[in-house]
Structure 1
Amino acid sequence: MANEESLIQKIYYEKILKDADEKVYPVKALGDLYFNESKKDLPELSNIRFAQGEVYFHNSDFETAIFKWENIQNELEPWAKKNMADAYFELDLLETAENLYQSIKTDSINLNTEITLQLFGLYLAMQRIEEADQMIKNAVILNPGYPNVTKLARAFFEEQQDWNSAVELAVNEATRTRSLQWFKVLNMYIEKGYTKSMKPAYFMPSLIVLAELDMDEYETIIVQFWLSYEEEGAYLSWIKEISQLILQQDFNHEYTMQRLSVLFQKTYIELMKGNYYVTTLEPVIPNMLKSWMKIAESSNAFYASASLLAWADNFPSTMEEEDIGKAEFILANTYYDKSIMLEILDIFNAIQEKANDHQLEIDQTLTWLINNIADVDTQRILLGGDSERIETGLIASIVGNNFNPSQLNAETILYRHGFDTSVQGITETGTIPVNSQLDLDEITTSPKTIIDVAISNPFFDKNKLAFVNFPHFNWKNAEQNEVPGAMRLADRLLFILNENAPFTNNERAKLLMIKEQFPEMHIDFILKLSYTSGDDQEVRNLVTETEKRIHIYFPESQLLAYSNELDQVNEWDTLAEFLLDNTKKENWQQTRTSKALFFIRQALNHLLQQQVKIEQELAETIEHEEDSLSKLQGSIHQLQDMEDDKIRIIREAYQAIKVEIQTDLAKNIPVILKKSSEIVKEDSDFRRIHLDLNEEMNKRINHYLQNNVMPIYISSLQDWIAYAQTELTISQEHLSEWENSFNTMLGEDRVRLVCDFQILNDWQRDAGRMTSTFDMEKENIILRRTPSQVLLKGAGKLFGVIPKNNAVLANAYKSFIENENYQEATESISIKFFRQFELFEKAIARDTHLFYREAFSELKQAVDDLYDEMQINQSNLEKMKSTPEVFRDPLTLIEVRIHQYEWMSHADQLKIESH
């Protein structure tokens, strides 16, 4: 490399001139050497020519330098070609230089590196960026330790904003050189977000190296990686990879990775909020918890171990017994002094969010209980005793005349300080103001109702106390094991004894049962005496004996005895002092966490039950919708049958009128026509008698139709319309019954089956218009082309001029008129009469259909709407059944968090067991 270094720097000529006179210019000195060497029998001129080329190059005589390097025939030939290419590069003959660089074949790594770097520079000059990129990457791969190679590469990648290549360079160089400087460069890239798109596994080998070099920098860069991946798709992959890496590494335990431990905790909480499916988290969380527990110290170790145990509770197959044992050991031997109430409330908020996401409602009594338990500044005293009157009297004496406790009737009542007096009822569905006894009676119908009484009260305010009362709870009956769930609202129990029979066997049994169910409940006693005297030995004996019996079963309990002789101010000061002296605030505050967790778990179970209920209700709704849809669809067919039937009935009724009139016409018209023979006389003009007869006949028929038939027809039409109205009204009545039935079936007024009675008005109008005027076209009665008519008409013309034949012709005409049947004429007249009513008759079916049209449309729309709703419900039910994890997985993760805080709140018990 030493020799190649001179070739790289183009100072090989210094080696040739090492013995030359320093005062002689190199060109002159090399020329003299060349001249002297050329005189030899076997001259070796290549080295001298090579050196001469270097001197000319340094003096910018590039053409001469090229001339000198062209004829190098020894081992310097590859270097000479490289130098020639350099000269062409300087002369800006870039393509010639490129071809020459590419033609060089050599085994020298340094020469190949130089050629690659020169091509890199050449391609940059030619703006061939892709080829320049390839050259600098080749140089890094070929000889990363070569001077300035990685520096040039980094500068180029950054200039081109090729951040993937820049990151890869930093990672490779940091790993190769074990240089913290390169790790700092990598950290800079991470901070700027250039590593987000790269797979986390790629960085693990370099992190192993960094852990051996500098733990502080190791933690710093992991934290930066973590933050950079938070919003990326590779986030879980990062957590999985880094957790596995931490588990595999041995660390110097003198170094505490506090920042990383906090980040583990923050990430765990985020992952448990229900934004991932359980199947997605199962490959990630176990090792994450193990690695977190491995690096965590103090409070974080406590938190990590509780988290691991909680996960193991829900997913036991993912944790080994050894890990569970370690977690229990840490939990039992680590002190944790942080309040977790806010974090517990965060769990409840997550439950509420999931309820809102799925349009579900959380029992509002649970919400109220949780929020009140979270208020750790006020101690809540449960008042109990064998007499509801004594309890109520004690409360009344404290709250004063502003409020009468005996008016309240609920399972649970809370009396607390408030700036204004107010009463609220808390039910499953919400909070309701109570302004009257009627309001109170309405909301206390549910056994779960809680009455919240706020009173501006100095006793409550000054001492930060509140009273809980269970008016209907039987404190005497030990066999009644059921205890109000709201008893967890109280921090302690103040049991009021009856001075006539203090601490009876039944009271003792009941209190022992309560203590068994609520071991954290502290119990104290109060004995209010109706008489006393400072020297009354009987009273002192009563108090002493009562205390002895109490301490056998409740050794930590205290007894307060006082009498009515004390004034009320002193009385309540004494009570307050007793309550505050006999309890440590931190003790009852600690128990609040387990109580809050109890109700939060109830809220979670309530939500799960609601979901099951919703599935059941949805299935029932779909079944009901299917049945309703079938009935609605059937009703459409029934309505069609009803319409067809009504069309038939109404049309037949009209046709009956028509037949009746046609019958009358067939009977009367021939008679009228035959009577027309009256106009035939012996003196008639037989040449036109046929015309006169036809005119008379039409006149008589028209009179008959106008004055006899038309009134009957008008009257019949009115009767027919009335009949149709009756029939259609019956239909409307049926449809109204259907409407009520369907709306009852559907649970809402969504069907309105109203028919269009306007058609009756239209028929009335049409009937009046058609019958108001009557003008029938004349009928050719006597002038028809029948043989007898033709013969008779011809005879009249022939013999009408012969007077002696008038009598014969008159008789012949009369005989013909009176004996003709007139069937054809009658039919023609009937047809003409009804022709003007044909459109009316034909419109009966159409009009009747219009009567039912709106009902049809309403039923069809109801069918379509119900079908759409059923499809949506079926889709929702299918989704709920096919992807139950959408709802259940978030709640499962919330349950893991509940388990975690349960472990944390019960850590003291582990400490006891471990000892």
Structure 2
Amino acid sequence: MTLEKQLIRKSYYEMFMEGIENVHPIKVLSEMYLDEKQKEMPDLSYIRFAQGEVYFQNKDFEVAIFKWEHISNEFKPWAQKNIADAHYELDLLAIAEDYYKAVETESDVLKTEVLLQLFSLYIQRGNLEMAVDSIKKAVDLNPDYPDVTDMARAFFEDNQDWDNAVKLAVNEAIRTESLSWFEILEAYVDRGQTAHLAPNYFSEALMTLFHLDQPRFESLSKALWHSYKPNDLYFPWLKEINHLLLNIELGDSHVWKELSVLYKETYVELISGKFLIRDLSPLLPNHLSNWMKISTASDALVSSSAVLAWGEIFPSDMEDSVLSEAETMLSQSARYQDGLEDGFRLFESIVNWAEREGLSLGERFKWIVRELLDLNHYHLFIAGSVTSGKTAIMNTMLDEMLLEDSNSAAVLFKDADEAEMRAITDEEVRSISDFDDFRQSSKDEQTLIHCSMPISFLNKNRLSLLDIPGPPEQSNTPYLRLADCLLFVLNTDSYLVEKELDQAIKLSEQAPEIPVHFLLFKMDRIANSQETMDLVEQTTSKIDAYFPDAKVFALSAYEESERQLNELSSIARSIMKEHSLEGERTSKILSYIKKSIKLLFEKRVEMENSFLNKIKWNEEIVAKLQGAHHQLSDMEEEKVQVIQNSYSKIKQEWREDLLTKIPELLRNCSEMVSEDSNFGRIHIEINDEMNKRMTDYLEETALPDFRAAIQGWMAGCEAEFRDSQTYFDEMSESFNHLYGDEKLALNCDFKVLDDWRRDVDRMTRGNIQLGKVNILTQFTPSQFLLKSAGKLFGPISKNKEMLHNKYKQFIERKDYSETAKSVTDTFMQQFELFERSLERDISMFFAYPYQVLNKTLEETQNRIEENKESLSDMRKNPEIFRDPLTLFKLQLRQYEWMRDGGTGSLSQVEV
């Protein structure tokens, strides 16, 4: 045992026990101590150090401390460490910590022991931060020290200190090149404890592992790949792993099966349209180059075609040597097997993306592409002029008179156990309920009808029959490309064969990839069989001049139906046997994908123009609405003026009339005064009569006449309101014509007139509640004298004549203007209150048109802002729309490369 191990175990004292048995170490050391002390220059440090160890072993820590405190030789640092250990055992942790920290030594072993003891001490004191610092220093100082890294790992894991645990694993994996540490690191990665660390943190470890064990390197790379995928460090990880693989020689000793799959899945995700090209451009060239380097035989076709496609779309990103290698790999790859499914998935991705962007390719377009997936039916398109007999041939095949020459809709007939018909337009797919509905739907040229029903001929020959009506040369290209073959019917009885051939040529030019064959029909109308043969030969010769690969068949119109069907079956089999249906359908789907991408680019331009047009149109509408608002305001102001003035005029006339009539009524009351009158009470009687006459006049004359005048005014108001409503109706009609919808209804509130009628009826019917007016009973000086005179001289007969004259003169000459004004004011008060509410009521009449205009104006201005914002977004970030379509185009080109199997070069393949 080495000295350091003895010092660590506190067994240095055993050196003094060699050859001594059955004697306690304390006795032996004590005797040695006494012997040494007798020497002239005694050296007691070694014995004291050993004595301290023995006392420590026997838990006499105080004595052990005493012994170690007197050590002055080279063992002093160990003695200080042992003193700290003793205090630690005595649970005097603070003192122990001071002693540990006071140890000064050059020995890495002692330093390590001190750090490990401090590590334990800090754990016991609950100071985890200092514990971490101590164990990290111990690992850094002496990582090969027994169990130090295992202690550190266990401590970090127990305290879930994953950053330090990962750092330890990385450093030890690199230092020791031990696969066990790489396994520990991978376990951390799998548990997600490294996902926040920068990917370049693991570069050295990965490089080390690559040279040690490539399968383990692949496994760790896969774990890191999956851990980074969900977070923001995904792209930095891809950059790091690609940089790493780009700079190492992979060799042929290992098949990178898992990494090849990861590269493929990542590539598919990156080009799915979720990312912008500016983010992909720095990443994908290296990614593709590495993928091609590590790809397995099953992925060689996909990876090499991806390289070539990227090189076409972004030619400056790929080196020529990489492209050349990709072409070589592609030409040596297995045949592309999944083109139809891959193409359709790409098409579905485009459709889903377009719908999220508010665009649509139309239900017809989508249905055609989906129909191409049906490899169980061969799509035969029968074309020909109206006089060729095409419709008769198709009805023979269908065993029913389903088609008419007047049909405008395209129809696809398929055999099925259950009958089902659907009408497909750009907007919808709907079921067709019966044959009447079928015939009605077949009149719409914008409709495609899918007709499934039990059809023996189609079932027997695995055919779908496609009818595209109209002149053959005008047949719609989207439907045309659905066909696997075109059978053009020529009427040999017609002198227009040349013209019909010209139609066939124009039809073929629309879809040159579709094979064209010919059927000569109505042959029996030519009497001489030699003439028939000559005509067939002449027609075939003409056909060969334009369609050298076409087959020519002949069919009599007058043969029995069964024989015709047998002939048509033979024709169908002859046509179908030459086709590789899956390959042709794949090409067609790719063709539709190319068309859909082009269409969406066009729709993007249309959308931008649409926003511009909407903004302009809505701005014009805003101007018109604001104009209408001003007109409404002017009209309201005008009506308020007219109606108030007319009412005010009536009211003023009646006020003036009352101010004239009331004094006259009161003066006429003088006739009540006679010589026989009781002059003591005459003023009371006359006052009462005056009140009665005023009330009678107001109720019996003034109110009815005033009512008639107000009713006339009401009629005028209604006419004014009707004129206003007529104007608003015309305004609404004008706006609704612009909107193309019943958007505005500027209906005024005629209930205002009902309220007015009710108020007028209330004001002009019933009794007048004036209250008793004091006209003669007020105590003015003249009245007082008259009343006094009456009391004094009343009994004297000779004075009655004088009083009679005086009273009469007083009544006739009295100024009743104040009374008339007071009564008139009282009478007119409710009419004046009514007048004050007119402006408010007229505003209520116009309130709803105001609301409608204001709401419509606000909505229109909001639409302008929304459209401007959308247009701004489109112009600000055009790549958000453009990049996904470019990446769809990239995928399309990749599939085209895979389909062609590397037979063409970059310059030969159409982009």
**TM class by smaller structure:** 0.7 to 0.9
* CA displacement, residues 543-585 of structure 1 (integer Å, 9 cap, x when unaligned): 7888788778766555556778997667655654665466667
Asked if 1:602 corresponds to 2:600, the answer is no
**Displacement after TM superposition at 1:895 (Å):** 2.8
Partner of 1:892: 886
Partner of 1:839: 833
- Give the TM-score taking structure 1 as reference length: 0.88
Partner of 1:377: 376
Alpha carbons of structure 1 residues 74 and 773: separation in structure 2 relative to 1, 3 Å: same
Alpha carbons of structure 1 residues 522 and 28: separation in structure 2 relative to 1, 3 Å: farther
Q: Which amino acid aligns with 1:416?
A: K
Asked if 1:147 corresponds to 2:173, the answer is no
Aligned ranges 1:746-825 → 2 under 5 Å: 746-770=739-763, 771-782=765-776, 803-820=797-814, 822-825=816-819
Which residue of 639, 642, 647 maps to 1:654?
A: 647
Partner of 1:910: 904
Aligned ranges 1:333-348 → 2 under 5 Å: 333-348=332-347
The question of whether the paired residues in 2 share the 8 Å contact of 1:381 and 1:494 is answered with yes
* CA displacement, residues 630-655 of structure 1 (integer Å, 9 cap, x when unaligned): 54455455444434433443333333
Partner of 1:724: 717
Q: Which moved more, 1:431-440 or 1:500-509?
A: 500-509
Partner of 2:308: 309
Structure 2 Cα separation of the partners of residues 626 and 78 of structure 1: 92
Asked if 1:131 corresponds to 2:130, the answer is yes
SS of residue paired to 2:770: coil
Alpha carbons of structure 1 residues 220 and 693: separation in structure 2 relative to 1, 3 Å: closer
Partner of 1:367: 366
Partner of 1:168: 167
The question of whether the paired residues in 2 share the 8 Å contact of 1:261 and 1:296 is answered with yes
Alpha carbons of structure 1 residues 33 and 522: separation in structure 2 relative to 1, 3 Å: farther
The question of whether the paired residues in 2 share the 8 Å contact of 1:503 and 1:550 is answered with no
Partner of 1:452: 450
Partner of 2:155: 156
Structure 1 Cα separation of the partners of residues 183 and 430 of structure 2: 62
**Displacement after TM superposition at 1:216 (Å):** 0.9
**Displacement after TM superposition at 1:755 (Å):** 3.8
The question of whether the paired residues in 1 share the 8 Å contact of 2:410 and 2:445 is answered with no
The question of whether the paired residues in 2 share the 8 Å contact of 1:497 and 1:503 is answered with no
Aligned ranges 1:19-34 → 2 under 5 Å: 20=19, 30-31=29-30, 33-34=32-33
The question of whether the paired residues in 2 share the 8 Å contact of 1:502 and 1:546 is answered with no
**Displacement after TM superposition at 1:215 (Å):** 1.0
Structure 1 Cα separation of the partners of residues 656 and 268 of structure 2: 97
Structure 1 Cα separation of the partners of residues 228 and 398 of structure 2: 59
Alpha carbons of structure 1 residues 523 and 10: separation in structure 2 relative to 1, 3 Å: farther
Structure 1 Cα separation of the partners of residues 522 and 752 of structure 2: 91
Partner of 1:200: 199
Partner of 2:181: 182
Structure 2 Cα separation of the partners of residues 824 and 498 of structure 1: 113
| Number of positions where the alignment pairs a residue of Structure 1 with one of Structure 2 | 907
Alpha carbons of structure 1 residues 48 and 524: separation in structure 2 relative to 1, 3 Å: farther
**Displacement after TM superposition at 1:176 (Å):** 1.0
Partner of 1:901: 895
**Displacement after TM superposition at 1:150 (Å):** 0.9
**Displacement after TM superposition at 1:113 (Å):** 1.1
The question of whether the paired residues in 2 share the 8 Å contact of 1:388 and 1:471 is answered with no
Q: Which amino acid aligns with 2:480?
A: M
Partner of 1:592: 585
Structure 1 Cα separation of the partners of residues 731 and 510 of structure 2: 58
Alpha carbons of structure 1 residues 518 and 636: separation in structure 2 relative to 1, 3 Å: closer
Alpha carbons of structure 1 residues 514 and 760: separation in structure 2 relative to 1, 3 Å: closer
Partner of 1:734: 727
Partner of 1:428: 426
Q: Which moved more, 1:599-608 or 1:552-561?
A: 552-561
Asked if 1:7 corresponds to 2:7, the answer is yes
The question of whether the paired residues in 1 share the 8 Å contact of 2:410 and 2:447 is answered with yes
The question of whether the paired residues in 1 share the 8 Å contact of 2:748 and 2:848 is answered with yes
Aligned ranges 1:5-84 → 2 under 5 Å: 5-13=5-13, 20=19, 30-31=29-30, 33-84=32-83
Alpha carbons of structure 1 residues 727 and 804: separation in structure 2 relative to 1, 3 Å: same
**Displacement after TM superposition at 1:858 (Å):** 4.4
Partner of 1:214: 213
**Displacement after TM superposition at 1:134 (Å):** 1.7
* CA displacement, residues 51-93 of structure 1 (integer Å, 9 cap, x when unaligned): 4444444455544443333222122211222223233333433
* CA displacement, residues 672-706 of structure 1 (integer Å, 9 cap, x when unaligned): 44433333444545555545544444444444334
SS of residue paired to 1:381: strand
Q: Which amino acid aligns with 1:776?
A: L
Q: CA RMSD in A?
A: 4.0
**Displacement after TM superposition at 1:207 (Å):** 0.5
Aligned ranges 1:688-703 → 2 under 5 Å: 689-703=682-696
Which residue of 621, 637, 642 maps to 2:635?
A: 642
The question of whether the paired residues in 1 share the 8 Å contact of 2:423 and 2:441 is answered with yes
Structure 2 Cα separation of the partners of residues 550 and 908 of structure 1: 35
Partner of 2:357: 358
SS of residue paired to 1:454: strand
Q: Which amino acid aligns with 2:391?
A: T
Partner of 1:389: 388
Structure 1 Cα separation of the partners of residues 699 and 647 of structure 2: 20
Structure 1 Cα separation of the partners of residues 711 and 396 of structure 2: 86
**Displacement after TM superposition at 1:99 (Å):** 1.7
Percent pairwise identity: 37
Structure 2 Cα separation of the partners of residues 665 and 90 of structure 1: 123
Partner of 1:273: 272
Alpha carbons of structure 1 residues 37 and 823: separation in structure 2 relative to 1, 3 Å: closer
Q: Which amino acid aligns with 1:651?
A: Q
Q: Which runs of 5+ in 1 are unaligned?
A: none
Q: Which amino acid aligns with 1:310?
A: A
Alpha carbons of structure 1 residues 325 and 682: separation in structure 2 relative to 1, 3 Å: same
Alpha carbons of structure 1 residues 503 and 910: separation in structure 2 relative to 1, 3 Å: farther
Structure 2 Cα separation of the partners of residues 510 and 699 of structure 1: 108
* CA displacement, residues 452-486 of structure 1 (integer Å, 9 cap, x when unaligned): 333423332233222334443446xxxx8x87233
Structure 2 Cα separation of the partners of residues 518 and 393 of structure 1: 25
The question of whether the paired residues in 2 share the 8 Å contact of 1:411 and 1:472 is answered with no
Q: Which amino acid aligns with 1:595?
A: K
SS of residue paired to 1:490: coil
Structure 2 Cα separation of the partners of residues 654 and 729 of structure 1: 18
Q: Which moved more, 1:74-83 or 1:60-69?
A: 60-69
**Displacement after TM superposition at 1:437 (Å):** 7.5
* CA displacement, residues 211-259 of structure 1 (integer Å, 9 cap, x when unaligned): 1111111111111211222222222222221112111111122322121
Q: Which amino acid aligns with 2:614?
A: T
Q: Which amino acid aligns with 1:267?
A: T
Q: Which moved more, 1:774-783 or 1:362-371?
A: 774-783
The question of whether the paired residues in 1 share the 8 Å contact of 2:388 and 2:490 is answered with no
Q: Which amino acid aligns with 2:324?
A: G
Q: Which amino acid aligns with 1:679?
A: M
Alpha carbons of structure 1 residues 42 and 429: separation in structure 2 relative to 1, 3 Å: same
- Give the TM-score taking structure 2 as reference length: 0.88
**Displacement after TM superposition at 1:165 (Å):** 1.6
Alpha carbons of structure 1 residues 825 and 412: separation in structure 2 relative to 1, 3 Å: closer
Structure 2 Cα separation of the partners of residues 710 and 144 of structure 1: 118
Q: Which amino acid aligns with 1:309?
A: L
Structure 1 Cα separation of the partners of residues 908 and 700 of structure 2: 121
Q: Which moved more, 1:301-310 or 1:725-734?
A: 725-734
Structure 1 Cα separation of the partners of residues 532 and 213 of structure 2: 77
Alpha carbons of structure 1 residues 852 and 254: separation in structure 2 relative to 1, 3 Å: same
* CA displacement, residues 855-875 of structure 1 (integer Å, 9 cap, x when unaligned): 444444444455555554444
The question of whether the paired residues in 2 share the 8 Å contact of 1:65 and 1:87 is answered with yes
**Displacement after TM superposition at 1:908 (Å):** 4.6
Partner of 2:821: 827
Q: Which moved more, 1:890-899 or 1:137-146?
A: 890-899
Structure 2 Cα separation of the partners of residues 551 and 706 of structure 1: 112
Partner of 2:412: 414
Q: Which amino acid aligns with 1:905?
A: R
The question of whether the paired residues in 1 share the 8 Å contact of 2:383 and 2:488 is answered with yes
